[in-house]
Copies of this chain bind each other. A is one copy, B any other.
Amino acid sequence: MIYDFSSRYVSKTATKSVSEFEYDAPSMKTAVPGPNDIQLCLSPGLQNVGAVHFFCNYEESRGNYLVDVDGNRMLDVYTQISSIPIGYNHPALMKVMTNPNNVSTFVNRPALGILPPENFPDKLIESLLSIAPSGMRRVQTMACGSCSNENAFKTMFIWYRNKERGYANPSEQEVDTCMINQSPGCPDLSILSFMGAFHGRTLGCLATTHSKAIHKLDIPSFDWPIAPFPKLQYPLEEFVRENAQEEARCLEEVEDLIVKWRQKGKPVAGIVIEPIQAEGGDNHASPDFFSKLRNIARKHGCAFHVDEVQTGGGTTGKFWGHEHWGLDDPADVVSFSKKLLTGGYYHRDELKPDKPYRIFNTWMGDPSKNLFLSEVLNVIRRENLLEVVTRSGKALLQGLYTLQTQYPHILSRARGQGTFCAIDACNDATRDSIMIKARNKGLFMGSCGEKTIRFRPALVFKEYHVHQLLNILNDVLAEHK
């Protein structure tokens, strides 16, 4: 289906099946930020005001619609940086709160590693273990995405050193030197990452993050290898050969770096990569690229860590972004957070630390988040949301193709998987201007990379929401001088 933006999609909007709990459409009363918002920004209680987009009325928000403090109701396709799985105030989640059996889980946050609640193993089975990636039956929960990746890295370092020392006990020298940050106890191991990657902003994660200078400036880091991520040319079907060459070049560089860092005395214990580089500008690579990268990791004895913090949870049309690669054995470690509501990571049996307390902290997650996650998974299954995402994603991408054909001087490189879509503007100023104008018409989008608009709707984003989005975007572009 090719969209025709000369007429609006009135008929399609009319045939929507309105969810009981949701609004029909955006509704704007003021520009954003509005007067109440501007007032709140002056509050003495507000910290870090510079990053605030606007203040929200979460009580009044529903489904795909985010309401601000001036009563503006926006179609939200950014969803709290891609972290709201099934929309605002979903009735299934409200029910979790009103079930008296759940109160204790919220009120008494345990130290999960040492004193788990009675139902914790069962809750893990019905939630996180029920969606475990291929080949994995071990999961470690953590409080957020950064902690998940930090501990995933530690798990790979421990595994790597255990291999190196033949699973023998550490030497006295190792035990002594680790206490003072020195090798061999704190070995010079490294994690290989990619330019454009984002894996979090704590110091370990940040050493693998290379998307924006503002994340990294002034923070000490590790001398770890950084490979180029393929820069694909669009449309993909016109640049098959060029893109294959580009991917081959990057893979060759990966192998060179692994060898070089081994020679430097800083062997690569693990490779970390996102299925789609999200913060870095929605950069895609082919399944063939990931498959070959996985083989390189195996060949050189490095663990292969797929960071699904942004791609996980169904937004690509499969539960995990890496399922699109079609591999039986796609990863050794898979980390998650955001739409999963709890952070954590899965890992293969071989990567289980040899002793308790090697991976540990006070909370190690939060069982109240697992409660919500169980309900989210029920809703995903009951409402076939992966199919919804696939369908809406196709409509969205098709619409973006049409828009970039209609506005080739403004838009290019429409791309996506499921509703995890993006399109580039001609420059950052144009991108920012389009986003502000769209927001004032009731469409709230996110940005990433240098000049990219990213679409990160909830899983309950239906086709009629797609049409609302495309109509507003088309209006903005038509007015754009």
**Residues on the B chain within 8 Å of A117, using CB:** 55-58
A14 at the interface (CB under 8 A from B): no
- Chain B residues contacting A242 (CB-CB under 8 Å) are none
A362 to B368, alpha carbons, bound, how many Å?
19
Excluding A51-B114, A189-B218, 17 further A-B contacts by CB distance (< 8 Å) are A40-B118, A44-B121, A45-B125, A47-B124, A48-B140, A50-B357, A51-B360, A53-B115, A58-B105, A66-B115, A83-B362, A83-B363, A84-B109, A88-B107, A97-B97, A188-B220, A214-B355
| CB–CB B51/A150 < 8 A | no
Q: Is the CB of B40 within 8 A of A121?
A: yes
A168 CB–B CB distance under 8 Å: no
How close is A358's CB to chain B, nearest CB, in angstroms? 6
Q: Verify if A110 is at the interface (C-beta below 8 Å from B).
A: yes
- A residues 177-216 near B (Cβ < 8 Å) are 178-182, 185-190, 195, 200-204, 207, 210, 213-216
Interface pairs (17), CB distance under 8 Å:
A45-B120, A45-B129, A46-B121, A52-B113, A55-B116, A55-B118, A56-B110, A61-B108, A83-B111, A83-B362, A88-B108, A89-B108, A144-B362, A151-B202, A154-B203, A178-B213, A202-B202
A281 at the interface (CB under 8 A from B): no
Instruction: Check if A429 is an interface residue, CB within 8 A of chain B.
Output: no
Quick check: is A317 within 8 A (CB to CB) of the other chain?
A: no
> From residue A104, how far is it (CB to closest CB) to chain B in Å?
5
A116-B56, A186-B216 given; A203·B153 CB < 8 A: yes
| B58 lies within 8 A of A181 (CB) | no
Expressed in whole angstroms, the Cα–Cα distance for A236 and B160 within the complex equals: 46
Nearest B residue to A129 by beta-carbon distance?
B45
- Cβ contact within 8 Å between A175 and B140: no
A261 at the interface (CB under 8 A from B): no
Pairs A-B, 8 closest by C-beta atoms: A50-B356, A203-B204, A45-B121, A43-B121, A51-B356, A186-B221, A181-B221, A161-B218
A320 at the interface (CB under 8 A from B): no
Chain B contacts for A122, CB-based, 8 A: 43, 45
Q: Are B186 and A362 in contact (CB under 8 A)?
A: no
* CB contact list, A78-123 vs B, under 8 A: 80-81, 83-84, 88-90, 93-94, 96-98, 101, 103-111, 113-118, 120-123
| A219 contacts B by Cβ under 8 Å | yes
Kindly state whether residue A427 has any CB partner on chain B within 8 Å.
no
Within 411-425 of A, Cβ neighbours of B (below 8 Å) are at: none
Q: How far is the CA of A107 from the CA of B117 in the complex (A)?
A: 22
Residue of B nearest to A360 (CB): B51
Stretch of A222-230, A283-291, A321-329, A400-408 lying at the B interface? A222-230
Residues 278-306 of A, flagged 1 when their CB comes within 8 A of B and 0 if not, give 00000000000000000000000000000
A124 to B49, CA, bound (A): 14
Instruction: Please measure, in the bound complex, the distance between the C-alpha atom of A357 and the C-alpha atom of B115, giving whole angstroms.
Output: 36
Q: How far is the CA of A282 from the CA of B66 in the complex (A)?
A: 48
Contact status B107-A93, CB under 8 Å: yes
Q: Are A81 and B186 in contact (CB under 8 A)?
A: no
- Tell me the smallest distance from the CB of A257 to a CB of chain B, in Å: 12
Q: Is A436 in the interface zone, CB < 8 Å from B? A: no
Query: Cβ of A94 and Cβ of B89 under 8 Å apart?
Result: no
Chain B: which residue is nearest A200 at the CB level? B361
**Smallest Cβ distance from A159 to chain B, in angstroms?**
9
Contact A53:B114 (CB < 8 A) given known A45-B122, A48-B140, A109-B80: yes
A462 contacts B by Cβ under 8 Å:
no
- For residue A359, CB closer than 8 A to chain B, the reply is yes
A49 vs B355: C-alpha distance when bound (angstroms): 10
Any B CB within 8 A of the CB of A350: no
Asked if A203 and B203 sit within 8 Å, CB to CB, the answer is: yes
Quick check: A144 and B147 within 8 Å, CB to CB?
yes
What's the Cα separation between A98 and B145 when bound, in Å? 29
Residue of B nearest to A108 (CB): B58
Q: How far is the CB of A376 from chain B (nearest CB, A)?
A: 11
Chain B residues lying within 8 Å of A190, measured Cβ to Cβ, are 220
Q: When A108-B58, A203-B203, A338-B362 are in contact, do A178 and B216 touch as well, CB less than 8 Å?
A: yes
A142 vs chain B, min Cβ distance (A): 8
* CB of A158 within 8 Å of the partner chain: yes
Q: A150 touches which one: B90, B97, B202, B368 (CB < 8 A)?
A: B202
Q: A94-B107, A97-B97 are in contact. Are A143 and B143 (CB under 8 A)?
A: yes
